[in-house]
A = this chain, B = another copy of it.
């Protein structure tokens, strides 16, 4: 595919990913009558299922750290990275706005959801390390990534953002899946640490199985 089409796939895929994350969080919270576990189950299973569909359909990375890791592994050219990442970030914002609009909320509202502390940052390091390893090595990546994220919502204390584009965009919705803008920096820093470790480990242990 041409670079333009690949960027379009990244934009559309990341928009649907964020719509899935934010929208299912809103629906889950509205319908669950205060049961946070039920809301998170809706959120995690919808996100995992959407990832399966989106990766099978678009083959997109939908994650700047994955795109950068792909460039390190020479799976894509470094010169393509800026446009692909811009498409991911732009798509992410559109997806959050679309979710807010579908549920008749203000299109943009800054989140007040505090996500901070050492447990949260350790969670993001571990979550991103695992995700990048899955992306770099897994057979059947759609099912591997969907399964990994559906699980990591539950097994990390941060619910596993593991994606800077997702993190920034989720600061723009004051709903279940939101993150306070002030906490975005820490999350992204932790994600970069985890991704760096995964790229180094992956280079040693080797690529696709």
Contacts and interface: CB of A to CB of B under 8 A. Distances in A.
B52 A147 contact: yes
Interface string A131-148: 001100111111111111
Contacts of A155: 19-24, 27, 46, 50, 99, 102
Contacts of A50: 147-148, 151-152, 155
Contact of A38 (B5, B37, B118, B134): B37
A209 B56 CA distance: 8
A: interface residue count bin:
35 or more
B8 A56 contact: no
B102 A154 contact: no
| Chain copies in complex | 4
A182 interface: no
B31 A37 contact: yes
A19 B151 CA distance: 10
A154 B38 contact: no
17 contacts: A5-B204, A12-B201, A28-B154, A32-B37, A35-B37, A35-B38, A40-B42, A45-B45, A45-B150, A49-B150, A53-B144, A53-B148, A102-B119, A102-B123, A102-B157, A103-B157, A142-B144
